[in-house]
């Protein structure tokens, strides 16, 4: 079995708890509000703005034998530049105050997820950051386009309010194929175990970000 497929299987339970966050059912039933959509975009901004700095930090910490992976990170960086501004523009298209969001603070759940990512890179091993990549991109291709359609239908918002969700739904499909190829080059068992561990933790933390939007209960374990 390829490592990517093993990663998918090993993290399946953690992935399922993320999708059990109440907001997903609310979106599917057309019960989402404008305030809730802006709240989602706000938290997205506060973690997406760290994507490029995190990629840079991970690339800088990789050892020389992982130069091929550093090259891949450089490609990620080029594609991820400026995506946080897309989110702010979506907020403005919804009638929200994007500058207030820019200057505001993240929720505790978003802050903890981002902090764990920096800690994983700086204290543990930069390879663990790819657990976060797996979670964020995998979640996007599973839900982004479908959620955008449901939210737009419920709220009758213009197309320009969905640049982040719709772009990431299609863009991340390409990224996941690219990511799969990278992961299948990771053959050291301890490195594979680290990435699986990190993915499970990031699913838990990202699930808490979604639960925090609606005040849903936070599970004790992942």
Where do the domains of the chain lie, and which CATH numbers do they carry? 12-214 (1.20.910.10)
Q: pTM for this one?
A: 0.93
Predicted pLDDT at 173: 65
> In tens digits, what is the pLDDT along the chain, a chain of 222 residues?
899 999 999 999 999 999 999 999 999 999 999 999 999 999 999 999 999 999 999 999 999 999 999 999 999 999 899 999 999 999 999 999 999 999 999 999 999 999 999 999 999 999 999 999 999 988 887 788 889 999 999 999 999 999 999 886 555 567 788 899 999 999 999 999 999 999 999 999 999 999 999 986 777 666
Predicted pLDDT at 175: 73
Q: 69 CB contacts (<8 Å, ≥6 apart)?
A: 62, 182, 185
Q: 8 CB contacts (<8 Å, ≥6 apart)?
A: none
Query: Can you tell me the distance from the alpha carbon of 147 to that of 170, in angstroms, rounded to the nearest whole number?
Result: 13
Token pair belonging to 167: 């772009």
Predicted pLDDT at 221: 65
Query: Can you tell me the distance from the alpha carbon of 10 to that of 101, in angstroms, rounded to the nearest whole number?
Result: 36
Predicted pLDDT at 139: 85
CB count, 10 Å around CB of 21?
Answer: 22
Angle between helical axes of 129-155 and 163-183 (0-180°, round to 10): 150
> For the chain, give me the number of helices (H) and strands (E)?
12, 0
Q: 19 CB contacts (<8 Å, ≥6 apart)?
A: 142, 143
């Amino acid at each position: 079995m390829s490592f990517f497929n093993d990663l998918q299987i090993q993290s399946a339970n953690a992935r399922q708890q993320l999708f059990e966050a109440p907001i997903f059912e609310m979106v599917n039933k057309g019960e989402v509000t404008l305030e809730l959509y802006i709240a989602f975009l706000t938290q997205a901004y506060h973690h997406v703005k760290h994507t490029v700095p995190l990629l840079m930090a991970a690339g800088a910490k990789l050892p020389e034998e992982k130069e091929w992976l550093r090259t891949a990170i450089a490609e990620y960086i080029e594609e991820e530049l400026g995506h946080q501004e897309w989110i702010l523009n979506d907020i403005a298209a919804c009638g929200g105050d994007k500058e207030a969001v820019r200057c505001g603070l993240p929720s505790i759940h978003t802050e903890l997820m981002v902090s764990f990512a920096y800690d994983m890179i700086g204290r543990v091993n930069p390879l663990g950051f790819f657990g976060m990549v797996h979670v964020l991109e995998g979640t996007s291709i599973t839900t982004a386009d479908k959620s955008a359609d449901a939210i737009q239908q419920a709220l009758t918002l213009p197309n320009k309010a969905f640049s982040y969700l719709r772009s990431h739904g299609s863009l991340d499909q390409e990224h996941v194929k690219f990511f799969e190829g990278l992961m299948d080059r990771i053959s050291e068992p301890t490195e594979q175990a680290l990435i699986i561990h990190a993915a499970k933790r990031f699913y838990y933390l990202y699930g808490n970000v979604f639960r925090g939007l609606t005040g849903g209960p936070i599970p004790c374990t992942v």
